[in-house]
Amino acid sequence: MQTRDEVLDAALRCLNADPTASMAEVAAAIGIGRATLHRHFATREALVHEIAQRSLERWERGQAEVDMSGVAASGDAERIEACLRTMLAAFVQDAEDFAYALSDPCMLSQPDLAARMAELQELEVKFFRAAQEAGVVRRDVPAVWLSHTTYGLMIASREALQSGDVAAKGMADLVVSTFLDGAGAR
Amino acid sequence: MQTRDEVLDAALRCLNADPTASMAEVAAAIGIGRATLHRHFATREALVHEIAQRSLERWERGQAEVDMSGVAASGDAERIEACLRTMLAAFVQDAEDFAYALSDPCMLSQPDLAARMAELQELEVKFFRAAQEAGVVRRDVPAVWLSHTTYGLMIASREALQSGDVAAKGMADLVVSTFLDGAGAR
DNA sequence: CTCAGGTGAGACACCACTGTCTCACAACAG
DNA sequence: CTGTTGTGAGACAGTGGTGTCTCACCTGAG
């Protein structure tokens, strides 16, 4: 007897590995019957919707845990930088969750999800603006580009981990360092 | 009467916008009948395979145009840096092509395509190693990570362009700058 | 003009997937 | 023991997509 969370976890893993997996395949990956999966989620759409919802909530929780908006409003460079480092590291941890949720075409077509996603991104952009004003990050690029960059590095970290090119242990530090310092020689 | 290339271009655009588009939808987007599309490509798989093939060829051509391997072998820091900048800019130009081809699950399961992709990536990693030895990029990160980073930034640039957050005109410079200098304040 | 070749619309068979439902069975509580 | 609840396997209907094929029509060459 699995909890709903366990079901969702396993479903996410399966769909991450193969976004085209059928409900029968998802059910098998979870270790339950297809009828049971349908009892949890009436439709495939409902399942995907809830997975995406969870990822957005995770994102939101991440922002709240480091009090991203509060730190941004403080204008304190040290706090902002610490907050940024923590968030980047958290993105690496959550890359597996987000990769599916943020790229699935079905999700982006759901108004509630797309709206929520835009809100969270806007909050993040505000944080980067504050980081610019505080002198933590460069001011000569659009703040929204910095948000896209973190997304790109999150995708990169996911791929590097999947292919075994980089050890999980140092991944977060690598992302933080790459984001802040770039790849050019010092 | 459209050429095969025009058909492929239009198909790629359609599938980029909606990877789940049916053959009927792809044909309509191209402006031809479905039967005609099938006359060009016997199966959906054949179409996708050829699109991916084209993207890989484009990637390969990009490497050849700047003589990436030759420049790497020269060990000349200035040439290597110029080559790197050119390639990064080219990635931004080609992001729309690559985004679909490099992420489609079907493609990654085709042995010939996956093998070719691995070869091209290995050549790129070799280039980054040479760039490290020449003192162009930092040596304290795995060269293969630099390859993943360029991929991540390519994805980021595609998203930024799609959402209209960044103007196409300055996109390439932004990617180059972000890659080399990072986001941290100077 | 005729003929050949290409095209798009539409029909058809097949298939995989989805959603729905039944039923036998297992587990648990009283 | 009985009764209740939950489960998985399997059957079924419906749907959308795929591949295949036919045919009327159009275009271009001779």
Residues from A contacting B (CB-CB < 8 Å) are 18-20, 103, 105, 135-139, 141-142, 144-146, 148-149, 151-157, 159-160, 165-166, 174, 177-186
Task: Calculate what percentage of chain A has a pLDDT beyond 70.
Answer: 96
Please enumerate, as own/partner, the contacts of B2-6 that have beta carbons within 8 Å and a separation of 24 or more.
B2/B30, B2/B31, B2/B32, B4/B40, B6/B30
Q: What is the pLDDT of residue A106?
A: 65
Q: What is the pLDDT of residue B3?
A: 81
Residue of B139, B142, B160 lying closest to A145 (CB–CB): B160
**How many Å apart are CA B130 and CA B125, to the nearest integer?**
9
CA B38 to C1' C8, whole Å: 12
Q: What is the pLDDT of residues A92-101, one digit of tens each?
A: 998 888 777 7
Distance from CA of A160 to the nearest CA of B (A): 7
If you write DSSP's letter for every residue of B31-52 in order, what string do you get? TS-HHHHHHH-SSHHHHHHHHH
Q: What is the pLDDT of residue B73?
A: 97
Identify whether residues A29 and A87 lie together within a single domain: no
Q: How many domains does chain B have?
A: 2
Q: What angle do CA B160, B10, B88 make, to 5 degrees?
A: 40
Residue A143, domain member (yes or no): yes
Domain span holding position A14: 1-42
Identify whether residues A112 and A166 lie together within a single domain: yes
Lowest mean pLDDT among A34-38, A141-145, B43-47, B96-100: B96-100
Residue B186, domain member (yes or no): no
Q: What is the pLDDT of residue A2?
A: 72
Identify whether residues B60 and B20 lie together within a single domain: no
Residue B147 has pLDDT above 90, yes or no: yes
Residue A116, domain member (yes or no): yes
Radius of gyration of chain A measured on its C-alpha atoms: 18
Residue entry with tokens 């072998």? B73
Identify whether residues A25 and A81 lie together within a single domain: no
Supply the CATH number for residue A38's domain: 1.10.10
Identify whether residues A85 and A17 lie together within a single domain: no
- Closest residue in chain A to residue B109, using alpha carbons only: A18
Identify whether residues A161 and A84 lie together within a single domain: yes
Residue A72, C-beta contacts closer than 8 angstroms, at least 6 positions apart: A80, A83, A126, A127, A129, A130, A131
More confident residue, A66 or A104: A66
Q: Which nucleotides of D are covered by protein (CB under 7 A)?
A: 6-10, 16-22
Cβ–Cβ below 8 Å for A180 and B177: no
Which of A137, A52, B23, A53 lies closest to B11 in space, CA to CA? B23
C-alpha dihedral (B80, B82, B88, B94), degrees to nearest 10: -110
Residue A109 has pLDDT above 90, yes or no: no
Identify whether residues A156 and A77 lie together within a single domain: yes
Identify whether residues A107 and A25 lie together within a single domain: no
Q: What is the pLDDT of residue A104?
A: 67
Helix (H) or strand (E) segment spanning residue B186: none
Identify whether residues B4 and B69 lie together within a single domain: no
Residue B16, domain member (yes or no): yes
Which pair of tokens denotes residue A139?
């001011």
